[in-house]
Amino acid sequence: MAKRMAARAPVAASGEWVCELAPFPARIDDGSGAYQPDGLLWADTDGKILGFRIGRPGTVLAEAAASFREATRKPMSGKPHVPASIRAGSEELADALRAAVGPGVEVYVGETPETAAALAAMAESFEGDSVPATHFTRGVEPAAVAALYRAAARLYRSAPWKKVAPDHGTFTVSSPALGLGNAVVIVLGHLGEQYGILLFPSVPAFESFLSAVASIQAGREAVIPSHCAVTFEPRSEVRPGLLEEIRTHAFEIAGPAAYPAFAVLDENQSRPVLRGPDARELRLMEAVSLALAAHLETARPGPLGTVTVALAEGPVEVRIEELPEAPDEPPAKPVRRKAPSPAAKKKPRA
């Protein structure tokens, strides 16, 4: 234990870090209205991101000390260490940091082109994407997110994209306790492009999805119906803000290529709206992920079965049944023309 703790402790001061406080290149909707948050960004002189924190305008400066300590112990790039000097983007930020880092680290004010380049890269990766760079929106609590991460890790380990054939990868799920009646789950990943599942509220919604995909493939405009998505991506594609929350709350991850992304596509007459899930949707994603994993973990999973999943409020029964004559897996990018579905959106991934 002592050896492990020592490995996590920052080593002797070395090198220079750059710190900037600037508007974050995306808007966040936390259920009380959309706003543009402030972001506190740490980088080295090569422009590699070391740490990141976002929050409502005017609140992030007070977190500079905690953000610095987190970056020294768990940097997003490189080994833990303390910098010999910090170049801050403003005098106000420098004053806040001097009070936090102590006399052993020099803090001075200067230009921060390294952080500007990092923010520009983030802005490019956020283009056209309204999913917030935080898990905690729309009334979602850390405990609920942690439960969904555990469910997603179990789903990934059960590998439904390997255990069910492409023409048997569509299921209906029903649970009166969850308000689900013949909802539809599609397993993605048979083509090796994007692992995960899509959840539609009903069979008609799923059929509308298939019709929309066919129309798009034929070059016609179409609107993708509302659905939820749990997909998986490598760590390199997860946004810095989400990575920080994953570390801070110790969310369970099944592997380096198994960072889950949770998203909801809302159908809209003008264009689809991609957003983070609310508390109810998070609970549905958790229950369905656990139910599908439990069904596939049985010795010989049949075309139907009832499983019991453990949620925060207690055990809940979920009935899973293979949808007859399921079509081939849809393309990895089921979209309304030029509007990506959460199942296939490649992010810079909460």
Tokens representing 286 are 């958790």
Q: Is residue 267 scored above 80 in pLDDT? A: no
SS3 annotation, 242-266: HHHHHHHHCCCCCCCCCEEEEEEEE
Angle between helix 240-249 and helix 64-73 axes, rounded to 10 deg: 80
Average pLDDT over residues 271-287: 85
In tens, the pLDDT along 156-191 reads: 999 999 988 877 789 999 999 999 999 999 999 876
List the single range of 27-36, 214-223, 324-333, 334-343 with lowest mean pLDDT: 334-343
Residue 27: predicted pLDDT:
60
Q: Is residue 264 scored above 50 in pLDDT? A: yes
Please calculate the CA angle 66-135-189 and round it to the nearest 5 degrees.
Answer: 130
Which CATH fold would you assign to the domain 2-126? Nucleotidyltransferase; domain 5 (3.30.420)
Q: Is residue 343 scored above 60 in pLDDT? A: no
Residue 189: predicted pLDDT:
87
Which amino acid is present at 101? V
Higher pLDDT, 123 or 218: 218
Candidates 185, 173, 191; CA nearest to 329 is 191
Mean of the per-residue pLDDT values of the chain: 79
Residue 46: predicted pLDDT:
85
In tens, the pLDDT along 89-99 reads: 999 999 999 98
Average pLDDT over residues 235-247: 86
Average pLDDT over residues 24-30: 60
Candidates 132, 273, 87, 277; CA nearest to 199 is 277
Higher pLDDT, 48 or 292: 292
Task: Name the phi and psi angles at 196, rounded to 5.
Answer: 150, -165
Judge contact between 296 and 303, C-beta under 8 A: no
Taken in order 134, 78, 147, 345, the sign of the CA dihedral is positive
List the single range of 132-141, 201-210, 236-245 with lowest mean pLDDT: 132-141
Percent of the chain with pLDDT over 90: 37
Per-residue confidence band for 12, with pLDDT thresholds at 50, 70 and 90: low
List the single range of 196-205, 241-250, 265-274, 314-323 with lowest mean pLDDT: 265-274
3-class DSSP state for residue 148? helix
Counting every residue written for the chain, the total comes to 350
Higher pLDDT, 80 or 118: 80
Residue 52: predicted pLDDT:
79
Question: In terms of DSSP H, where are the helices of the chain?
Answer: 2-8, 64-73, 91-101, 113-126, 142-158, 160-163, 203-217, 240-249, 279-297
CA distances from 185 to 61, 242, 251, 292 (A): 43, 26, 24, 9
42 CB-side CA count, 13 A:
30
Q: Is residue 335 scored above 50 in pLDDT? A: no
- How far from chain centre, in Å, is Cα 39? 18
Candidates 58, 82, 78; CA nearest to 68 is 82
Domain range list for the chain: 2-126, 142-322
Tokens representing 326 are 């399921």
List the single range of 34-43, 290-299, 307-316, 341-350 with lowest mean pLDDT: 341-350
- Give the residues across from 266 on adjacent strands: 273
Average pLDDT over residues 251-274: 81
Residue 4: predicted pLDDT:
32
Taken in order 203, 207, 210, 216, the sign of the CA dihedral is negative
Residue 34: predicted pLDDT:
60
Please state, in angstroms and rounded to a whole number, the distance separating the CA atoms of residues 226 and 82. Answer: 47
Task: Name the phi and psi angles at 27, rounded to 5.
Answer: -100, 145
Per-residue confidence band for 6, with pLDDT thresholds at 50, 70 and 90: very low
